[in-house]
Amino acid sequence: MIKIYFLEKSIPFNSNDLNSTIIAGTEKTLINITNELSNNENLEVKIFNLSKNSIKINNVEWSNLNDYVNYDEPDILIAFSDANLFKNYKCKKKFLWSHSVQSIEKFIRKKQLIPFLSHRPVMLLESKYHYNTRSFFTSLFGKKIIDLAADYEFINVNIDKNFIPKKKAIFTTRSDRNIEFLLSSWEKINLKSLHSELYINPPYNLTEKHTNMGVKLRTKSNKIELIEELKNSRVMLNPGHKGEVFCLSAIEAKEMCLPIVTMGYGSLSERVEHGQTGYIAKNQSEFIDYSLDILNNDETYLKFKNNLFNIRGKRTFKNVAIDFVKILDLNG
């Protein structure tokens, strides 16, 4: 039996919170990957985080970080985001799973340098963009890419591939990620697309000008409500951002057969097949024109929707877990 332990310290949660609004992409990833790994009878999977009570769910043990028994040495130890979590844990094979772009300056400022050099973990990264922007120094002991997937609910929900929604655009990423570019583009898009609306994530202080051009704030919704939103949207408009190392919201949109228009910033260029599942614009003028093409032309929208429908569900967390086991090199 190979013991794989995960260390994480964002908020108190466990896999019962998968559909809750309290968790985000990082927490969803931890739940989904460990649920799949637990199906492997050769693996013992434990998570130590800020859980208040120890509990076993889907054959995965969830415990508080303070409840770790120091004589229980795992075969593989995986810390989320913070190399300081390795303290007090004995293990020869360690991985540090990064969810952000970190410069050397930020790496030092976040007090990662000393524990990183001390514990010598291999970096787990989430896209080619993430891999290429990770410096040699902050991945000194190796780096690997783990390509993720959407929750099964986005993959399994029924989609009517002939349904044409109203002219509703949606942006479900953090509102600090190139929202000004999006809104300045939308001002021109809205003029040429009658009755179109753009829904963006809170928090954002909408002005009367924004309201007059059809911009509305989304209500923070649970997963079921988000699925309905995506199902009834016409296009996802997401310029991308240097901080987007994976962009789970784009993967969720794709599984819902929702075309994406992007500038390709960050990892967004890896989420869209230009001309097949959406558009990757080279400048703002193209971003506007491509958005209008999907909003105003039913044929374009249906072409992208059907292309997405045909590749839907090709990658799930079952595939992610298989790849993950290979990356961990359990026999190495």
Instruction: List the chain pLDDT tens, one digit each, 332 residues.
Output: 999 999 999 999 999 999 888 898 899 999 999 999 999 999 999 999 999 999 999 999 999 999 887 668 899 999 999 999 999 888 989 999 999 998 899 999 999 999 999 999 999 999 999 999 999 999 999 999 999 999 999 999 999 999 999 999 999 998 889 999 999 999 999 999 999 999 999 899 999 999 999 999 998 778 899 999 999 999 999 999 999 999 999 999 999 999 999 999 999 999 999 999 999 999 999 999 999 999 999 999 999 999 999 999 999 999 999 999 999 987 66
Helical residues (DSSP H) of the chain, grouped into ranges: 25-37, 104-109, 113-119, 128-133, 152-156, 179-192, 208-212, 223-231, 248-255, 284-296, 298-311, 317-328
Return the residue matching tokens 């985000």.
24
Which residue type is seen at 266? G
Nearest 5 degrees, angle CA 184-CA 186-CA 191? 115
Please state, for a pLDDT cut of 90, what percent of the chain lies above it: 88
Beta bridge partners of residue 57, listed in sequence order: 60
CB burial of residue 208 (10 Å; 0-12, 13-18, 19+): exposed
What's residue 232's pLDDT?
A: 97
Bridge-based pairing state of the strands 60-64 and 55-57: antiparallel
88 contacts: CB under 8 Å, gap ≥ 6: 68, 70
Q: What is the pTM of this model?
A: 0.94
Q: How many CB atoms lie within 10 A of CB 181?
A: 17
Q: Domains of the chain by range and CATH? A: 2-149+316-328 (3.40.50.2000), 152-311 (3.40.50.2000)
